[in-house]
């Protein structure tokens, strides 16, 4: 699931994921390679044709005509009460905006202004370029809006966003998507991506493009935005602008840097000085430190400083040329005074952050150096929380150069009754920007307020404080007793003033049948028991629905029980129509009494360790939504029941585990319409979902039930599916999404400022519109661990795949694994280990990401390195890689084949999931077509794509680690947009959502050029599993050949442990590279690779892959010459465990293996039975040599064995010695010599 969503450390930085209606979704896997913002996804940037890179001397103001001109040319400003008055007219832009000022660097301009001798130029037309500056050029093919010679006035209650550059796409395809404190969020103007304001409406000035955004009528604190395109790509990632002042109405954006003043050039800093009295005569500046000699030379004898001659919108100013960026010292002087009085502010001004700022701001006698024109202290209080009865933690923008004593003078604590509370001590942490304040904060009814420099925050009880007081280990949810006659219900909400149960009728979920008050316990839990005595006239509560109504500070909200085991039928289209539809209604069910009572865990032949698994990822609806099989199905298509009917295909394919895309209740869907087929081509606004927008972690979705209105039916049918998968000797892995919810209110309404990871100000950290579940918090971790435990215990599932696993702390995932393994010893867990962890702000933890793989053997991570080497990946998806004609580093590929990726340390092969395709991004077939630029509508091209696809599947299934296949990868699944209206390229506003335009080598589009890369909102026409291609040999010979080839490889992998060795040490010993770079014509970067691996029984398997379009011969020397006596079991079209009499595309020569272009082979060299018997009869006298490798030689065949792995045959010691001697003689007669080796 990407919306990034790999580093995506911050690769997919917040690539938006599959939350449908918000349409910020992209596959999470693509996320893992993409955390870079700015010109996201590898897009280049371009400025408007009319722009230049000139930065005028007064870079902070656009000079206006009339009165403004006169005032800007004056050395003395009129009296002003705020900086907006300095400009003199209302149509001059007043202020600018800041984005997370503590972490975001100010923008640097592209060229430096000419500073000297320009005082007289202040009133000239500053839109004209300097002759010394080279203008920024653009691609003339891009549409540019009409440029304005000067900016238009900014309307009241409006924020102007200035963009230095934009992604290099047609303006008409780009849009500005906004949310948070704006008058009309983009999602209210239309669905994603069309609700964005089109950039064809943008205007330009001499900085770049700009667009105006109307702010909310209420107090505006922040504005979030992104730039998307008509295809639905998020090109910049999510950006947030903090509004520092009500007067702020501009922000400047250059790539990833945002500035709240117009940036100047590197190498200079502008010192702005604002005086309330407007008098600047005889005011000057005295410089030292990093000031260039050309500046300090302008100073006379003390106190003859550099006069303030220029005037801008922020007062008088001097542009200081810098010699370096170490530290600038200066004083403000009033040269009319004498002695120490000449210093306007007696202490030295010292400014160190010269690398990140090009303007600073001073006012009157204020000793503070401000880095914004609103005189908002750079050291600002941004949040507070109570962490214990004796401590409050305050968060600041920065604590650099702040001392304890000065902070204590300004910091105040008060109760809600305005009573001051004494501070007994304070501890500063400059690294985390936090101050821990010590005092008596134990008043049970008090709410404490922290104040610093006129900014105040309530110190909400932190999650740590709540954990210390209210961590609860009791039962939660609804528990049915006595055949539904009694139901115990418990919910945790310590801050609630009142909690009631709202009960709805079982036959009509809109009808309220009663309301029951709950009683609060000591740990913040609220409980009640429903029975015949509840006065509701109900004898059996099973099947009834309910909400909890939580009242807090006089406001009531309806919430979903987070521990609900089933739900009423859900339709997200009604969510905004009434509070009772905001979230689903929980259902009272007894899961243990529903469905198969004999359900047990899987018994999978040959599955003893992680490396033995072969995982097959499938979407429940996709697997049976092909209309071609409609008459074959007895059950409704797209359901758990229908999935059962096609399970024999997977059994015959040979995989060990079926991984289901999320089946827990997800938000953006209408379950009541799940019977409707979607046969037209569409990739947006459809009743389809991958499920990465969860609203419950315990309850199944009704989308895959034959009757979503019956809360028991989904439980029954899912248990049946699990049972039928187990009957066929396969396991079930569930894809789970704890990294974010569909809507932040789902948990915030339960207990505010607790369940999610927290920002420094105490607000929830969000992702893709939902909250990031804070798994370091006690009750949040319980949700994760308890739900995993429940799913294993109740449904007997065999594993879990964690979406964006790197978003979680490792301890939570480890705890979930141990809890699951205690129930199912064969549990398997894997996840997206991209480096994406955010956690609680300024509270680092060990994430469950790829960096953790060297510390755990419980959970595996997908290997993006393996994927990228073989077929390319985000952000370079579609560029040539090994199987698509791009020569790659052979050693890097070999390390990956050994389950030793080069971008993270895996100390065990089971740590690595080997894959080249998943639900995210283009399918394998489609990405090959994109990379080689060949339209599959041409038969020869399709055949080539299939040959390359087979190479990829072979490499996945012969690599160490755990292989992973996406449904349809075996036959060449495609998600091509084959609508007749989309033959050839279409207008930008018609481009399908989430599509790539694929072109031929000559640049012309394919016949049907659009391919959907993230189909989370696409129709069945795009998403269905194509059963004819998978099984109909007559109609689809290439597809079925690939399917059979993959099936044969799976059988081969399961027939031997050669490709699934148990440890890194064993792999290093038994897996050898044949094609050593720079030997026998093999280049360091090449398109051929060969390697061999030895099974525990002594059989040797050698894999040869030619990804070159030309024939290649791989020379065999030394020990590898013995392979020529082996049997070919894989060729260009066939794979399996039996020898091929006439291999296609494979010729064994006298000294090597010749492969046709795009062909692979596997040679098996069996160990002789006599050798096995001989080696198996070793006596106890040689027990201390168990690690010694014995070379078994038969007619030139060389294999290696570890004695401890060989079978005992019962032969005598003498027989063994004779047999060993005999085999040596035979080897000698054959003229071959080898030596035993010790590792």
Q: Is the peptide bond before 875 cis (omega within 30 degrees of 0)?
A: yes
Beta carbons within 10 angstroms of residue 973's beta carbon:
23
Rg from Cα positions in the chain: 35
Q: Is-contact 934 998, C-beta < 8 A?
A: no
For residues 225 and 241, is the Cβ–Cβ distance under 8 A? yes
Contact criterion met (CB below 8 Å) for 558 and 517: no
Residues 6+ apart with CB under 8 A from 528: 488, 489, 501, 516, 517, 518, 519
Residue 1143, φ and ψ in degrees, nearest 5: -60, 140
Answer for the pair 314, 83: CB distance below 8 angstroms, yes or no. Answer: yes
Beta strands in 923-981 (DSSP E): 962-966
Pairing state between β 486-492 and 525-530: antiparallel
CB-based burial label for 1199 (10 Å; 0-12, 13-18, 19+): buried
Give 1101's contacts (C-beta < 8 A, 6+ positions apart): 958, 1056, 1058, 1059, 1092, 1093, 1094, 1095, 1162, 1163, 1164, 1165
Helix axes 778-795 and 810-823, enclosed angle (nearest 10): 30
Cα dist. 542→485, 502, 546, 703, 795 in Å?
A: 8, 15, 11, 21, 20
With a CB cutoff of 8 Å and minimum separation 6, the contacts of 493 are 499, 524, 526, 550, 750, 751
Cβ atoms of 1164 and 1188 within 8 Å: the answer is no
Q: Are 748 and 674 in contact (CB under 8 A)?
A: no
In whole angstroms, what is the distance from residue 303 CA to residue 316 CA? 19
What does the alpha-carbon distance between residue 688 and residue 1018 come to, in Å, rounded to a whole number?
6
- Find where tokens 């005028």 sit: 56
Three-state DSSP state, 571: strand
Q: How many CB atoms lie within 10 A of CB 147?
A: 15
Alpha helices in 394-474 (DSSP H): 404-410, 463-470
237 CB-near residues (< 8 Å, 6+ apart): 13, 14, 15, 37, 40, 226
CA distance 660 to 912: 19
Q: Distances in Å between the alpha carbon of 222 and those of 183, 439, 762?
A: 12, 32, 15
From residue 1136, alpha-carbon distances to 957, 1033, 1037 in Å are: 12, 18, 18
Whether residue 303 is preceded by a cis peptide bond, meaning omega within 30 degrees of 0, is: yes
Contact 567, 712 (CB under 8 A): no
Per the CB < 8 A criterion, the answer to whether 1092 and 1102 are in contact is yes
Q: Are the C-beta atoms of residues 355 and 371 closer than 8 Å to each other?
A: no
CA distance 227 to 231: 12
Residues 1062/609, Cβ–Cβ less than 8 Å:
yes
Active site residues: 803, 832
Of 852, 876, 858, 851, the residue nearest 815 (C-alpha): 858
Report which of 248, 265, 245, 249 is spatially closest to residue 357, judged by C-alpha positions: 265
Residue length of the chain: 1239
């Amino acid at each position: 699931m990407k919306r990034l969503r790999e580093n995506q450390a911050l690769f997919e930085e917040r690539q938006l994921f599959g939350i449908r209606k918000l349409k910020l979704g992209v596959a999470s896997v693509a996320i893992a390679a993409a955390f870079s913002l700015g010109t996201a996804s590898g897009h280049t940037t371009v400025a408007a044709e009319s722009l230049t890179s000139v930065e005028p001397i007064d870079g902070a103001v656009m000079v206006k005509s009339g009165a403004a001109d006169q005032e800007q040319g004056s050395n003395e400003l009129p009296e002003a009460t705020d900086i907006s008055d300095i400009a003199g007219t209302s149509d001059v832009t007043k202020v600018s905006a800041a984005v997370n000022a503590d972490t975001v660097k100010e923008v640097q301009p592209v060229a430096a202004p000419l500073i000297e001798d320009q005082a007289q130029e202040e009133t000239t037309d500053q839109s004209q370029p300097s002759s010394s500056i080279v203008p920024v050029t653009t691609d003339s093919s891009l549409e540019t809006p009409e440029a304005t010679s000067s900016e238009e006035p900014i309307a009241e209650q409006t924020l102007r966003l200035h963009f230095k550059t934009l992604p290099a796409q047609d303006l008409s395809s780009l849009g500005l998507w906004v949310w948070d404190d704006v008058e009309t969020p983009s999602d209210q103007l239309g669905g994603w991506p069309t609700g964005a304001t089109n950039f064809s409406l943008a205007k330009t000035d001499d900085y770049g493009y700009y667009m105006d955004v109307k702010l909310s009528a209420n107090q505006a604190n922040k504005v979030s935005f992104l730039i998307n395109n008509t295809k639905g790509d998020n090109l910049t990632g999510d950006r947030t602008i903090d509004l520092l002042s009500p007067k702020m109405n501009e922000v400047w954006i250059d790539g990833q840097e945002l500035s709240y003043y117009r940036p100047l050039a590197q190498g200079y800093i502008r010192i702005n000085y604002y005086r309330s009295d407007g008098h600047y005569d005889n005011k000057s500046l005295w410089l030292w430190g990093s000031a260039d000699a050309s500046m300090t030379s302008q100073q006379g004898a003390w106190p003859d400083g550099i006069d303030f001659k220029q005037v801008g919108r922020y007062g008088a100013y001097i542009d200081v040329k810098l010699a370096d960026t170490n530290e600038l010292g200066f004083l403000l002087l009033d040269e009319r005074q004498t002695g120490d009085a000449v210093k306007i502010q007696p202490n030295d001004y010292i400014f160190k952050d010269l690398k990140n700022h090009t303007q600073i701001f001073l006012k009157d006698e204020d000793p503070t150096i401000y880095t914004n024109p609103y005189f908002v202290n750079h050291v600002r209080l941004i949040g507070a929380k109570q962490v214990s009865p004796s401590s409050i933690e305050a968060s600041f923008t920065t604590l650099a150069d702040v001392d304890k004593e000065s902070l204590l003078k300004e910091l105040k604590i008060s109760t809600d009754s305005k009573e001051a509370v004494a501070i007994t001590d304070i501890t500063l942490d400059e690294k985390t920007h936090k101050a821990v304040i010590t005092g008596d904060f134990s008043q049970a009814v008090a709410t404490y307020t922290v104040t610093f420099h006129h900014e105040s925050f309530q110190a909400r009880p932190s999650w740590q404080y709540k954990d210390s007081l209210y961590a609860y280990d009791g039962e939660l949810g609804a528990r049915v007793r006595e055949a539904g006659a009694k139901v115990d219900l418990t919910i945790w909400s310590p801050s609630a003033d009142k909690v009631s149960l709202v009960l709805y009728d079982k036959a009509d979920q809109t009808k309220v049948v009663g309301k029951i008050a709950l009683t609060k316990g000591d740990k913040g839990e609220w409980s009640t028991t429903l029975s015949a005595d509840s006065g509701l006239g109900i004898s059996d509560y099973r099947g009834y629905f309910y909400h909890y109504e939580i009242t807090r500070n006089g406001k009531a909200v309806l919430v979903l029980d987070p521990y609900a085991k089933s739900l009423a039928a859900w339709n997200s289209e009604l969510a905004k129509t009434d509070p009772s539809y905001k979230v689903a209604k929980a259902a009272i069910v007894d899961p243990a009494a529903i469905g198969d009572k004999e359900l047990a865990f899987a018994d999978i032949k040959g599955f003893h360790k992680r490396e033995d698994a072969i995982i097959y990822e499938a979407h429940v609806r996709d697997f049976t939504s092909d209309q071609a099989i409609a008459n074959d199905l007895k059950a409704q298509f797209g359901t758990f029941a229908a999935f059962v009917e096609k399970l024999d295909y997977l059994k015959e394919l040979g995989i060990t585990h079926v991984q289901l895309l999320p089946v827990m209740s997800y938000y953006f869907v209408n379950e009541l319409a799940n019977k409707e087929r979607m046969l037209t081509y569409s990739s947006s606004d459809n009743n389809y979902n991958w499920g990465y927008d969860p609203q419950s972690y315990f309850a199944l979705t009704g989308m895959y039930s034959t009757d979503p209105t019956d809360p028991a039916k989904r439980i029954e049918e899912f248990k049946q599916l699990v049972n039928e998968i187990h009957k066929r000797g396969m396991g079930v892995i569930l894809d789970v999404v704890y990294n974010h919810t569909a809507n932040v209110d789902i948990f915030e309404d339960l207990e505010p400022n607790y369940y999610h990871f927290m920002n420094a100000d105490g607000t929830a950290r969000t992702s893709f519109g939902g909250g990031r579940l804070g798994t370091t918090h006690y009750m949040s971790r319980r949700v994760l661990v308890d739900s995993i435990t429940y799913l294993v215990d109740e449904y007997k599932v065999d594993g879990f795949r964690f979406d964006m696993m790197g978003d979680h702390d490792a301890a939570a995932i480890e705890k979930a694994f141990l809890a699951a393994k205690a129930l199912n010893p064969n549990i398997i867990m894997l996840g997206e280990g991209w480096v994406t962890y955010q956690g609680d702000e300024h509270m680092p933890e060990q994430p469950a990401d790829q960096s953790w793989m060297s510390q755990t053997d419980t959970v595996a991570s997908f290997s993006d390195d393996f994927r990228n080497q073989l077929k390319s990946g985000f952000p370079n998806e579609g560029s040539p890689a090994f199987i698509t004609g791009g020569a790659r580093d052979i050693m890097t590929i070999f390390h990956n084949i050994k389950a030793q990726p080069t971008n993270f340390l895996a100390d065990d092969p089971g740590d690595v999931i080997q894959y080249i395709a998943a639900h995210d991004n283009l399918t394998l077939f489609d990405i090959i077509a994109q990379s080689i630029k060949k339209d599959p509508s041409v038969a020869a091209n399709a055949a080539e794509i299939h040959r390359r696809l087979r190479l990829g599947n072979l490499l996945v299934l012969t690599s160490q680690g755990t292989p992973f296949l996406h449904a349809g990868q075996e036959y060449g699944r495609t998600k091509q947009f084959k609508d007749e209206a989309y033959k050839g390229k279409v207008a930008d506003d018609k481009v399908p959502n989430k599509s790539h335009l694929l072109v031929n080598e000559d640049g012309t589009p394919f016949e049907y050029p659009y391919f959907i890369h993230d189909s989370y909102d696409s129709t069945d026409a795009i998403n269905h599993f194509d059963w004819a291609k998978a099984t109909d040999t007559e109609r689809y010979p290439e597809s079925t050949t690939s399917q059979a080839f993959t099936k044969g490889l799976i059988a081969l992998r399961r027939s031997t442990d050669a490709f699934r060795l148990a440890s890194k040490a064993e792999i290093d010993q038994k897996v050898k590279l044949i094609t050593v770079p720079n030997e026998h014509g093999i280049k360091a970067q090449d398109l051929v690779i060969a390697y061999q691996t030895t099974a525990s029984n002594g059989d040797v398997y050698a894999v040869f892959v030619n990804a070159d379009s030309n024939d290649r011969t791989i020379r065999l020397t030394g020990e590898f010459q013995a392979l020529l006596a082996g049997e070919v079991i894989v060729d260009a079209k066939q794979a399996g465990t039996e020898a091929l009499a006439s291999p296609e595309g494979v010729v064994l020569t006298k000294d090597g293996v010749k492969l046709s272009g795009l062909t692979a082979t596997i040679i098996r060299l069996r160990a002789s039975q006599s050798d096995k018997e001989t080696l198996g009869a070793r006596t106890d006298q040689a027990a201390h040599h168990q690690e010694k490798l014995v070379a078994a030689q038969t007619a030139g065949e060389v294999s290696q064995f570890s004695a401890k792995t060989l079978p005992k045959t019962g032969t005598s010691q003498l027989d063994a010695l004779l047999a060993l001697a005999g085999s040596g003689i035979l080897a000698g007669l054959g003229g071959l010599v080898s030596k035993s080796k010790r590792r």
